[in-house]
Amino acid sequence: MRLLLALFSLGFLAMSTSPASSAGSEQPAPSPSPAPAPAGAETLVLGGGCFWCVEAAYELVPGVLSVESGYAGGKRPNPTYEQVCTGATGHAEVVKITFDPAVVTRARLIDFFWDIHDPTTLNRQGADVGTQYRSVIYYANAEEKALIDASLAKANAESWGGKIVTEVSPLPPFYPAEEYHQDYYQKNPSAGYCRVVIKPKLDKLKQSPLLKSGER
């Protein structure tokens, strides 16, 4: 469904912005390296369906410095969007969130995750179906896993009736998505998927205590 709604906007954007397209290459232009994170910044990698949605949601959070869309959890190094879309590589669409822990804590960002998607639907979010759309949080160490486990248990008991199917796994390599995926909602607010799926979600999320109060 996402591919159908975004077909023309994504296709034309990729053709016009990718240097490789003008040369007739089948491979999309790689995403440029992000700017170095400020001293003291931390990162969190997770996925909750279409990375356009997750990216746009976390970009609303005070204290989040950047959100980078990408792929993780699969078998093929440096996969392309087209390869991930087949489901054969095993990757999930994820985002890498860089944040200032003096402004927003890792625990709050994890708690926010349960508000931005449905963690009870296995390998799908709405009309987006496939293992690439699975709900997943990756942990870099035992402390981070403990935060995730505690947050998941609380959300399961208070909001999701014990039905959460989110994958919690050790952090694998993160591969940045192609440049045309980065800040997709900001660049393409009039695209079909953005208007139909992302904007209503963001309008609802703006009522979240984390966004309204800026609580750490």
Active-site amino acid positions: 50
* Rounded Cα gap, residues 135 and 49, in angstroms: 6
* Residues 136 and 169: beta-carbon distance below 8 Å: yes
Angle, CA of 74, 75 and 79, to the nearest 5°: 75
Assess contact for 101 and 39: CB atoms under 8 A. Answer: no
DSSP per position, the chain: -HHHHHHHHHHHHHHHH-HHHHTT-SSPPPPPPPPPPPTT-EEEEEEES-HHHHHHHHTTSTTEEEEEEEEESSSSSS--HHHHHTS-S--EEEEEEEE-TTTS-HHHHHHHHHHHS-TTSTTEETTEESGGG-EEEEESSHHHHHHHHHHHHHHHHHTSTT----EEEE---EEEPPGGGTTHHHH-TTSHHIIIIIHHHHHHHTTSHHHHH---
Token pair, residue 60, equals: 């609303």
